[in-house]
Chain A
């Protein structure tokens, strides 16, 4: 579009239309990226719940439901069913060895009878119910960071090593 008598400034603006078309194309690519981010969030890829973010694991009676993908500063639930032992009064759960430095426990139900931190990790003792079963639920908030972490649980001779990914 070049008409005679076009002021130089208008001409200069018009000459940049090729660049503008490229920017509009980049804009549309940006929208697709934003859509992908939102869809991934709905699937749980960024944590905060969702099918990808939630995991379940079980080994000989020790079963855990945990958030596979977590965010620092955001507490995620952790539910542990300790291996039942009819007749026993107490159950010991060992979280570690780096549990205390990588997570902050927010609230725990039931409260442990005893809690001690040592080189092996965090050792918690819970009371079993009359049938010998014990379940613990708490929220743990990852400390600041980005990347993979490992959540190790031990109870009654069983061990589970759960992978966790933390977003900042």
Chain B
């Protein structure tokens, strides 16, 4: 019984903590971020299994977590409000080549990150070539290039 309760409680706590941490905090795959994710995984595993390394406990914990995951995804399908709260929404950071500073600041995204995404995804080299830059719900930055000027 404890395993199910602990797994459910930990799932909820992790969802809340990761939402509070924000979209991009764990998005970058620098070596440090990977280490941080591993450490979080280890801490979670210790709490869920405790001293019980039986097959039964592992199956109960894994099944509980996956079931909650499926339940949440069904819930999100039925309710757009829940979907928005849990997954977040995209945000426009640059419009017509002009960065929206307030949103960049609140989203904790540098203009350098936007320009890097523009280079990586579209081969663009300047703000004036960007029509829109959108911070997606999953933390990636997508860039829509400006239409080439005539003449």
Contacts and interface: CB of A to CB of B under 8 A. Distances in A.
Contact of B89 (A10, A16, A27, A34): A16
B132 A10 contact: yes
Nearest to B131: A10
Most A CB within 10 A of own CB, among B16, B84, B85, B92: B92
The A contact surface, by secondary structure, is helix
A24 B16 CA distance: 14
A168 B92 contact: no
B20 A27 contact: yes
Nearest to A13: B90
A110 interface: no
A1 B19 contact: no
Contacts, number: 51
B92 A27 contact: no
Contact of A144 (B2, B88, B144): B2
Contacts of A24: 106-107
Interface residues of A, number: 21
A1 B96 CA distance: 11
A31 B20 contact: yes
Contacts of A23: 85, 88-89
A21 B90 CA distance: 12
Contacts of B9: 168
A30 B19 contact: yes
Contacts of B106: 21, 24
A19 B19 contact: no
A30 to B, nearest CB: 3
Given A19-B84, A73-B51, A144-B2, A14 B19 contact: no
Interface string B126-143: 000000101000000000
Contacts of B2: 144
A20 interface: yes
Contacts of A30: 16-17, 19-20
Nearest to B2: A144
B91 to A, nearest CB: 5
Interface in A2-18: 3, 10, 13-14, 16-17
Nearest to B106: A24
Contacts of A21: 106
B50 interface: yes
Contacts of B22: 27
Contacts of B16: 30
B95 interface: yes
Interface of B: 2, 6, 9, 16-17, 19-20, 22, 50-51, 84-85, 88-92, 95-96, 100, 103, 106-107, 132, 134, 144
19 contacts: A10-B132, A14-B92, A16-B90, A17-B103, A19-B84, A20-B88, A20-B89, A23-B88, A23-B89, A24-B106, A26-B20, A27-B20, A30-B16, A30-B17, A30-B19, A31-B20, A34-B20, A73-B50, A168-B6
